[in-house]
A and B are shown apart, each in its own frame.
Chain A
């Protein structure tokens, strides 16, 4: 492949919409993976922690409820027992904070530990014979979950990057190379067809023009961008056609160009078939034989005149 061809191929390598689309899909998947892993982790971890805290708070309230039931007027002063109950926790002190409030919202007792701002809370009511007596509030730090989310985010990024590498290194690269090879072949074919001296057109099975080489453009008077996709009969106007047979030469006919110019051509129609031998269209190859015909006629004329000259010379001699 020449240098110009190579740079052309390189340019084309980045222009394929399907490859761009695959790249967009790859990046989208990467972003989704990078975001989804930490998002899922955070959602489920918070949900699990919240449920656990709700259960613990409800259990704590149940224990306190026994004291409230036994002493509805003085339960708030059972300092030692209440402190003992709220101090029972399943996590470290600095991760959990509990408090008991009475019916007016005043704190009855609270643990000394304080959780950071990043925390979740749960409350459970207390009742004295069916009437509100207060509530228990528990707060739990979610710093561990946030750290876990950050770690999951890093994992997500890693998996996302692996996803991008996979899309770039395998399917996308293979697709790019295949399309590039195909493009190079197409270009080669087009150059070949452009270089030959005959007009070449391809039409599909509906008769729409799929390709015209420069000679066909010159003979018909239509540019390929004007004729592509249109019915060939509107752009390839002939007169005096004989019956067309496949892959055989026809008797000359007249091609009428866009500006009315007439040319004598010899055309060959060849079918295009797929691997199942189903016809997909035709290749029309034609040669401008106008000059040739003119020369033949001139030669014939000269031969006639020559014959007449010989005859006249013979008579004069006599």
Chain B
């Protein structure tokens, strides 16, 4: 090959390279219960699709993620609740892709393994203040408008009253995000609070899920589907704005590899997601 041909080929490649090796970014965020799993899915997807980077932002919460997608600041949001009517914009798509247990948890150092629902209610009401071993219960609360608080309030009117009374006690810790709450549960001996099994598993947290009324959320074989409290995780995106890379990522989540990653990280895949947005 003559030198001039080499130069010509190199020149052509230099013009084509940006098109061929264009860097695409998929911006993702949402509920803290799912961002850990999204990071793992994003890494795996990135390995298969060089040139596409899945950037998972810190948790914005379900509401924040939906709002950011509607505003065009995110490409994909993950939500632990249904999209509300007032949050919908033209073309907004909500696609459940997995479910994961709501768990009542404590630090790994706590010997307690489970509680009855009535005891959980009394802990929030302030009637039970110590663990069986005498250590003080450090209750970790969630924000008033959080999906976990909403879940608790919907369990029963008595639970709703108990949660309301817990917020009035002075000096209570309120975890602003899922990660903040998980941090506090993880590092505080005698802690008690709500989080998600998907977060604990995907972020490898030193947190012990507690059985409720004798039913544990997970065991050696994975998630216990007899456990009564599950959250549904959904992908939220705007159809008309979705680029091909995003569609590919959504397809990847529903693929066998994606489902395997989900199962290994505290989530049960829900059927197949549509490959095309």
Contacts and interface: CB of A to CB of B under 8 A. Distances in A.
B64 A79 contact: yes
Interface string A70-108: 110110011111011001000000000000000000000
Contact of A80 (B64, B68, B71, B73): B64
B148 to A, nearest CB: 10
Contact of B144 (A70, A71, A73, A84): A84
Report whether over half of chain A's contact residues are helix, strand or loop; otherwise say mixed. helix
Interface stretch (B54-62, B204-212, B221-229): B54-62
A87 B68 contact: no
A74 B144 contact: no
A16 B29 CA distance: 89
B99 interface: no
Contacts of B144: 83-84, 87
Contacts of B177: 80-81
B65 interface: yes
Given A70-B58, A71-B58, A74-B57, A80 B176 contact: yes
Interface string A47-80: 0000000000000000000000011011001111
Nearest to B174: A84
Nearest to B63: A79
B57 A80 contact: no
Interface residues of B, number: 20
Contacts of B65: 77
B145 A78 contact: no
A79 B71 CA distance: 13
A81 B68 CA distance: 15
Interface in A191-238: none
Interface in B38-96: 57-58, 60-61, 63-65, 67-68, 71, 73-74
B277 interface: no
Contacts of B57: 71, 74
B189 interface: no
A80 B29 contact: no
B58 A81 contact: no
A79 B64 CA distance: 5
Given A73-B73, A84-B144, A87-B144, A79 B61 contact: yes
Nearest to A83: B145
A77 B67 contact: yes
A198 B73 CA distance: 116
A87 B145 CA distance: 11
A74 B27 CA distance: 11
B183 interface: no
A84 B65 CA distance: 17
B247 interface: no
A74 B64 contact: yes
A80 B174 contact: no
B68 to A, nearest CB: 4
A47 to B, nearest CB: 29
A77 B73 contact: yes
Nearest to B71: A77
A73 B65 CA distance: 13
A300 B187 CA distance: 143
B146 interface: yes
Residue from B63, B65, B74 with most neighbouring chain A CB atoms (10 Å): B63
Given A74-B29, A87-B144, A80 B63 contact: yes
A79 B29 CA distance: 13
A84 B29 contact: no
B126 interface: no
A79 B145 contact: yes
Contacts of B71: 77
A81 B29 contact: no
Contacts of A84: 143-145, 174, 176
A294 B197 CA distance: 144
B68 A74 contact: yes
B37 to A, nearest CB: 19
Contacts of B60: 71, 74, 77-79
A296 to B, nearest CB: 117
A80 B146 contact: yes
A71 B35 CA distance: 15
Nearest to B143: A84
Nearest to B31: A80
Contacts of A83: 143-145
Most B CB contacts (10 A, CB to CB) among A70, A79, A87 go to A79
Nearest to A84: B143
Contacts of A79: 60-61, 63-64, 67, 145
Contact of A81 (B61, B67, B74): B61
A7 B63 CA distance: 90
A81 B73 contact: no
A71 B176 CA distance: 14
B51 to A, nearest CB: 22
A73 B71 CA distance: 12
B242 to A, nearest CB: 19
A80 B61 contact: yes
13 contacts: A74-B57, A74-B64, A74-B73, A74-B74, A77-B63, A77-B65, A78-B64, A79-B61, A79-B145, A80-B64, A81-B61, A81-B143, A83-B143
Given A74-B29, A81-B176, 5 more contacts: A71-B60, A74-B73, A77-B68, A77-B74, A80-B61
